[in-house]
Amino acid sequence: MTTTKTSTGHTLTYRSRNPLWLEIGGEAETMQQIPDAEIHAFATRLGLEWRGDVADETTLVLGMPAGAIARLRTEAVAAGDMEQVRICDEALGGDAEAILDCARVIADAKAQEG
């Protein structure tokens, strides 16, 4: 879990249970109360991007930046991980579950980097 406070005092929380969700914490807080620039900056720090998609009033939907899955695929090929290569191929083809799987792998790697 990664948490940050915005300049407006709101809490953004990123949890690995769904690496494409960004939760806004605190009572009665909604994403409309947080400057878009701060959401974009936090998502970028996580290696993701926000395109303005909202799941509900307190959950934003993040996306994989262009090239992130392709880079993961290249690393999987180099490591000989053909199962991950297959998943990346499915993700690059637009499979939502495969995209989520790749996002988890990328998020875990970022968390280990520190």
Residue among 97, 91, 88, 104 at smallest CA distance from 17:
104
Kindly state whether residues 14 and 49 are assigned to the same domain: yes
Range(s) of the domain holding residue 107: 68-113
Q: Are 20 and 49 in contact (CB under 8 A)?
A: no
Per-residue pLDDT of 95-108, as tens digits, reads 888 888 898 888 78
* pLDDT for the residue 77: 98
Rg (CA), the chain: 15
Within 13 Å of residue 66, how many CA atoms lie on the same side as its CB? 1
Kindly state whether residues 58 and 78 are assigned to the same domain: no
Kindly state whether residues 46 and 96 are assigned to the same domain: no
Per-residue pLDDT of 37-86, as tens digits, reads 888 888 888 778 888 888 877 788 888 876 899 999 999 999 999 999 99
Number of separate domains in the chain: 2
* pLDDT for the residue 45: 81
Kindly state whether residues 9 and 39 are assigned to the same domain: yes
